[in-house]
Structure 1
Amino acid sequence: MAQTKSGGCQCGAVRYQAEVEPDEAYLCHCRMCQRATGGVSIAFVSLKKTDRQWSKGKPDYFKSSPIARRPYCRKCGTPLGFEFEDGEYCDLTIGSFDDPSDFKPKHHFGVESLHEAWIDTSGLPRKRADDYKPLVDRWMNATGKIPD
Structure 2
Amino acid sequence: MMMTGGCQCGRIRYTAEIASSEAYLCHCRMCQRATGGVSIAFVNLKKSAVSWQQEPEYFHSSPIARRPFCSACGTPLGFEYPDSANCDLTVGSFDEPGYFVPAHHFGVESLHEAWIDTNGLPRYRTDDNAPTVERWMTKVGKLPD
Aligned twin of 1:19: 17
How much has 1:144 moved relative to structure 2?
Answer: 1.2
Aligned twin of 1:30: 28
How much has 1:58 moved relative to structure 2?
Answer: 1.3
RMSD (CA atoms): 0.7
How much has 1:110 moved relative to structure 2?
Answer: 0.2
Q: Give the total of aligned pairs.
A: 145
> Partner amino acid for 1:40?
V
Alpha carbons 1:60, 1:72 under 8 Å: kept: yes
1:97 pairs with 94, 98, 122, which one? 94
Aligned twin of 1:40: 38
- Runs of 4 or more, structure 1, over 2 Å off, are 21-24
Deviations along 1:6-61, one digit per CA (max 9) or x if unpaired, are 00000000000001134320000000000000000000000000000102x21000
Structure 1: runs of 5 or more not aligned: none
Between the aligned residues of both structures, percent identity stands at 68
2:117 pairs with 117, 120, 133, which one? 120
TM-score in terms of structure 1 length: 0.96
Structure 2: runs of 5 or more not aligned: none
> Partner amino acid for 2:99?
D
Alpha carbons 1:22, 1:102 under 8 Å: kept: no
TM-score in terms of structure 2 length: 0.98
